[in-house]
Structure 1
Amino acid sequence: MKFAVRSRPAPALPGVHGPARLHRRTASLLGRLHPGDVAVLDHLDMDRDTAQALVDADVVAVVNASPMISGRYPNLGPELLVQAGVLVVDRAGPEVFDRLREGTDVRIDGGVVHVGERVVAEGREVSADVVDTEMTRARSGLAAQLESFTHNTTEFLRREQDLLLHGHGIPAVATDVAGRPVVVVVRTPGWEDELRGIRPFVREQRPVLVGVGRGADALVEAGHRPDVVVLTSGADDLPSAAVLRKARDVVVLVERGSPRSAIEHLERLSIRPLRFETTATPEDAALLLASTHEASLIVGVGLHATLTEFLDRRRTGLASTFLTRLKVGPDLVDATALPRLYDGAVRPRHLLGALLAGLVAVAAAISVTPVGQQWVDELAPAISSTTTDLAHDVRGLLP
């Protein structure tokens, strides 16, 4: 007689498992990610914004063909990924894109990428200790980066001096900006808290709301309607068409001399964009637009503020940001500081308190005049009688 033998399931192999989503261009990959995916990309010195987008996509692992931290400057992306619990492997090499297919289930263990039993790439697992060590080393390279930045600043000023000094080339918008506060929103990590913190200011002052790229989507998600949207032609992080149609003005940044075809894709959506020929970044263009149109105050939501964040962006646009901040500096306030400066408008309870204080002051002043003394003498017997009757009634209620 044969007895049935129940087979035991094979033990799960160690490591992190998930379907691979791959693209050499990080911006093209971000929009295709789903929770549980393994993001395979080629991104030297990953910045914080990209890392936050990967965390928001809820990926389980990131495999980078290039080093996460090259040592040129202390970029913030790897630290954010590690703190969020995402497995990070870098230096996997460009051949990882030839050995993997989109959607293939992969397993990552100890910096080694497997497909089934086959090893397709070997890299380095980036732990918190690795990040700390390499970030310390990278901070020593800031001097060289600042020297390069100085050169880029000179070149940008040469190209855009008419824009920076005289406001030439900035389009005229239909939105009335002159004399009004302007809130410029960039969708970066922490924008929700910053926008929530200035809610009383937005409700009471009714500023012009400017969304930069997907910052327009952020405004809509927070329950606001963007007045102006500033975006770059051909960018991957464009707001939705529905959001663009809600805005009164859509300003599109294009390179100088670009043909009309650069904005035709928006015109096909029944949107009439305004061309802005400049090499400035979208958020800097938004700040310059608000300043040139004589905004009374500019509040920045999601703008980069610290030196480390500033250098983390790793692009020629650093010069644009630096010179723009010098241009609009007297009018620019960071959203994180605004709640400490703005206490809100006058409310009914404030008026009631002032009224009561005024009545008390008037009564005190009248009481020391002859007429006031006469009123007091006439009211004293009545008050005394009322007090005596009240005391008698209270004693009658006592056992």
Structure 2
Amino acid sequence: MGKEAWPCSLSYIAKIAADRKTKNLCARLQPFQVAVLDHADMDEMAALSLLQASVRAVINLSPFMTGTYPAEGAKRLLEAGIPLYECTERDAGLIDEVDGKLGIVRKNELWIQSEQGWKRRAGLLRVSAKEIGRRWQEATERLDEVLSAFIDNTLTYASAEKEWFLRPLEKPQLLTRMADRHVVVVVRGKHYREDLRMLSTYIRDYRPVLIAVDGGADALLENGYLPDLIVGDMDSISDQALCSGAEVIVHAFPDGRAPGRERVEKLGVRYQLLAAPGTSEDIAMLLAYEEKAKLIVTIGTHSTMIDFLEKGRKGMASTLLVRTKIGSRLIDAKGVSQLYKPRWSWNWTGWLLAATLVPILAALSVHPVARHAMQLWWMQWSNWAY
């Protein structure tokens, strides 16, 4: 920037947190920081994670919505009043350069503080709700075309992978017993927080086996539960959850490559390896099925085309095969909180009042002074009644 010490027309100033993976960024994002990321077609869960971290503004190297399908993330952020910007030119080195720096969003430019002073780093385009609405309409109009390609991809891969899922898994010997028990599989997907709270009474009464898929373990810990089993590639789970004492199964590719193995070993956590195609949540459900679980309840799992497109998948072959195989033993609790909201009733109020008065009356009846006062009150009431 040279001679100028401070850019004029200042919009706001904040520390920048940048990462190519949104889930990694959200894990370390501090309140009121500016997030710089590279996330085309931002999904709803990513947006909710950014909002939970109290992000101040979001700068994206890729379009928030490309128009391929109606991604929810940008709409959620704009509804919450978060300013959104897209970079006007793609710069692969931007993320590494700006991470941890003090930055200024000045009109349609990003400035960062360097040793030489303030430096213009990128051109920005403010994304409006009107523009997102236009892209949304475009994506909705071509949804049938996207669905057709999605179905074709699903059937192609299902035909290629069916032998894997027809035969039993080459699973390790598990310490967690699931035979004839209820099992809850928790994935950090849409509405997982609400659905987990909604099923709290069921979990308390039935004491099911709790299987967490990656970050689902953190969801359980947040709600006061300890996972019995953790399954996944361990890329979206905290160290605290990994070290919670649960049995750990690292999901590997069919050829044996396991990206999550190094992290688990570094933490000194005991684990077993399971090589199989498909998603980790599919493997978690299949494990419960093959361990003779009586009932499998899923929370936050991915089951629709939009769910899988948001995960960057062009089909859902393994999920189709697994759900077809498990059949009636599977109950999907996804979105139950949107369907049912518990209401306060007078019956519950009466029972609560009675439960409160019983111990009070019992205490009064044994206390000599209180008992004497009650006898006097009863005599006065009897005389008045007659």
Scaled to the shorter chain, the TM-score interval is: 0.7 to 0.9
One-letter amino acid of the counterpart of residue 101, structure 2: T
Contact 2:150 2:315 survives alignment (8 Å): no
User: What is the count of residue pairs matched by the alignment?
Assistant: 338
Match in the other structure for 1:41: 37
Worse-superposed segment, 256-265 or 156-165: 256-265
Return 5+ residue gaps in structure 2 as ranges: 1-5, 341-350, 352-379
* Residue aligned with 1:123, SS: strand
Once residues 307 and 258 of structure 2 are traced to their aligned partners in structure 1, the CA distance between those partners, rounded to angstroms, is 35
Match in the other structure for 1:102: 99
Provide closer, same or farther for how the CA distance between residues 92 and 395 of structure 1 changes in structure 2, counting only shifts above 3 A. Answer: closer
Match in the other structure for 2:345: none
Match in the other structure for 2:369: none
Picking from 269, 272, 275, the partner of 2:270 is 272
Contact 1:20 1:106 survives alignment (8 Å): yes
1:121 Cα deviation from its structure 2 partner: 2.0
Match in the other structure for 1:51: 47
Structure ID, larger Rg = 1
TM-score of the superposition, structure 2-length normalised? 0.76
Deviation string 1:84-133 (CA, Å, 9 cap, x unpaired) is: 22111124322274495333322224443234775432232122222211
Contact 1:291 1:328 survives alignment (8 Å): yes
Contact 1:51 1:80 survives alignment (8 Å): yes
Once residues 187 and 221 of structure 2 are traced to their aligned partners in structure 1, the CA distance between those partners, rounded to angstroms, is 13
Deviation string 1:348-396 (CA, Å, 9 cap, x unpaired) is: xx9xxxxxxxxxxxxxxxxxxxxxxxxxxxxxxxxxxxxxxxxxx9997
* Residue aligned with 1:174, SS: coil
One-letter amino acid of the counterpart of residue 237, structure 1: S
* Residue aligned with 2:316, SS: helix
Contact 2:10 2:107 survives alignment (8 Å): no
Once residues 316 and 140 of structure 2 are traced to their aligned partners in structure 1, the CA distance between those partners, rounded to angstroms, is 18
Picking from 289, 293, 304, the partner of 2:287 is 289
Contact 1:22 1:97 survives alignment (8 Å): no
* Residue aligned with 2:331, SS: strand
Deviation string 1:310-350 (CA, Å, 9 cap, x unpaired) is: 4333314633333333333422223244997xxxxxxxxx9
Match in the other structure for 1:230: 231
Match in the other structure for 1:132: 133
Match in the other structure for 2:151: 150
Return 5+ residue gaps in structure 1 as ranges: 1-9, 341-349, 351-392
Match in the other structure for 1:164: 165
Contact 2:61 2:90 survives alignment (8 Å): yes
Contact 2:109 2:124 survives alignment (8 Å): yes
Once residues 147 and 248 of structure 2 are traced to their aligned partners in structure 1, the CA distance between those partners, rounded to angstroms, is 34
Tell me how large the CA RMSD over aligned residues is: 3.3
One-letter amino acid of the counterpart of residue 49, structure 2: A
One-letter amino acid of the counterpart of residue 314, structure 1: G
Provide closer, same or farther for how the CA distance between residues 60 and 268 of structure 1 changes in structure 2, counting only shifts above 3 A. Answer: closer
Contact 1:220 1:243 survives alignment (8 Å): no
Worse-superposed segment, 197-206 or 316-325: 316-325
Deviation string 1:256-298 (CA, Å, 9 cap, x unpaired) is: 2326896354245443322111231111211121122222211
Matched, 1:86 2:82: yes
Match in the other structure for 2:182: 181
Match in the other structure for 1:381: none
Picking from 320, 323, 326, the partner of 2:324 is 326
* Residue aligned with 1:200, SS: helix
Matched, 1:255 2:253: yes
Provide closer, same or farther for how the CA distance between residues 130 and 15 of structure 1 changes in structure 2, counting only shifts above 3 A. Answer: same
Picking from 51, 61, 68, the partner of 1:65 is 61
Q: Percent identity?
A: 33
1:189 Cα deviation from its structure 2 partner: 4.7
Contact 2:251 2:258 survives alignment (8 Å): no
Once residues 301 and 254 of structure 2 are traced to their aligned partners in structure 1, the CA distance between those partners, rounded to angstroms, is 25
Contact 2:34 2:56 survives alignment (8 Å): yes
One-letter amino acid of the counterpart of residue 328, structure 1: I
Q: How does 1:302-341 map to 2 (within 5 A)?
A: 302-316=300-314, 318-335=316-333, 336-337=335-336
